[in-house]
Amino acid sequence: MTSENEAAVSAAVAKLYDTYPFPPEPLIDEPPPGYNWRWHWPSAYSFCTGHAPHSNTIKILDAGCGSGVGTEYLVHLNPDAQVTGIDLSAGTLAVARERCQRSGADRVTFQQLSIYDVGQLEDRFDLINCVGVLHHMPDPIKGIQALATKLAPGGLLHIFVYAALGRWEISLMQQAIAMLQGEHRGDYRDGVQVGRQLFGALPETNRIVKRDKERWALENHQDECFADMYVHPQEVDYTIDTLFELIDASGLEFVGFSNPRYWDLNRLVGKSDDVMARAQTLGTREQYRLIELLDPELTHYEFFLSRPPLPQSDWSQSESLLSAIPSRHACMSGWPSKSFFDYDYQLVKLTDPEYDFLSRCADPGITDADTVAELIADTDFTLDDVRSLQRRQLIVLSPTIPTTP
């Protein structure tokens, strides 16, 4: 049952997004450009397990789909999937339906539904996408627990929530706007007007003004973005400690953050062997906390949870690797070339042997092709070279020897 407070907050959130449908990306009459690998099932699954999924015919839930920006990608990036989108806001769902209809994303159904009530859906899902939603719920733990009940065994739950340390200026401005609105709080158009006037009145040297110009000005010229950031009626910002309280409460397994470069201690303190040695005596979560304390620019956490069993492949055994079938990663921009952008839009420069091997790999998603052993026969390309391509998410490996949970 939903409490009166939860119902009131949910109604206020729905009113915000009825007033300002979000995200406000334009509607287009073609598939959306580029990719987000987290929304591409084979890429996300390979990132989490080390190998390709056994099937791409899956069910996907976009929980809190908003105006359908992510939903549209989920449909187009996963041509064998059935997608369901749910959201509180009827106005925002109307935009989502039109967006998907216009771009040809026709394998999707929408339903006006709270995450708290997701149990009303009949299906269990292989991939649940919940981006920018849990932190706007009055009881995020109840929300993540509801989602966990709908995750199929071996499935992945992709979550995005706000990080407190990188959003200090947003929190201060939210409080200031609410104070100035007074009894008009909840009138979101008034909130945007007050916020715009306040930013205009503050000195150019003000820390909040400077921070907003550095980080947010390009997107906040749109009222929809400004309202979502500064006049939202409900927001929870996390630290590592409170984030893992949320994760632990889900009953699911933490697979990992989807931005591993940020969580690399070596990039921060690697110059000091002594500091690194001390840091490595800390537990994993303590190391995460140390990283965010030393680099408090992170504005959100993005990560995967799973419901076991989720078989893993580390490809340390030569026999398994030699028999695997490699295909090029689907999320690469600028291929074929020795220089292109990878799954995370980072520039890659291949050596000649790497380019030759990648050129002979199967196209993305093809599993009936040459094995690693066949591709490296009569070449100087080694298994360690293949492992390097896999670790860098440039190839996806399909095992022919069963993986272990």
Q: What is the mean pLDDT of residues 103-130?
A: 98
The secondary structure element, H or E, covering residue 328 is strand 325-328
Q: What is the DSSP secondary structure assignment for residue 108, as one 8-state letter? A: E
With vertex at residue 149, the alpha carbon angle to CA 146 and CA 152, rounded to the nearest 5 degrees, is 140
Considering only CA atoms, give the Rg of the chain: 23
Q: Model confidence over 18-53: pLDDT tens digits?
A: 999 999 999 999 999 999 999 999 999 999 999 999
Question: Helix crossing, 207-215 with 168-181: angle to 10°?
Answer: 120
CA dist., res. 258 & res. 22, Å (int): 23
- Mean local confidence (pLDDT), 211-224: 92
Residue with tokens 């440039």: 394
Match 């987000």 to its residue by tokens.
36
H or E segment at 96? helix 90-103
Superfamily of segment(s) 4-164+237-262+298-306: Vaccinia Virus protein VP39 (3.40.50.150)
DSSP-derived secondary structure letter, 206: -
Q: How confident is the model at residue 403 (pLDDT cuts 50, 70, 90)?
A: low
* Per-residue pLDDT, 367: 78
What confidence tens digit (pLDDT) does each residue in 252-268 have? 999 999 999 999 999 99
What is the reported pLDDT for 2? Answer: 62
Q: Which residues contact 261 (CB under 8 A, 6 or more apart)?
A: 267
pLDDT in tens, 163-196: 999 999 999 999 999 999 999 999 999 999 999 9
Under the banding of pLDDT at 50, 70 and 90, the label for residue 219 is confident
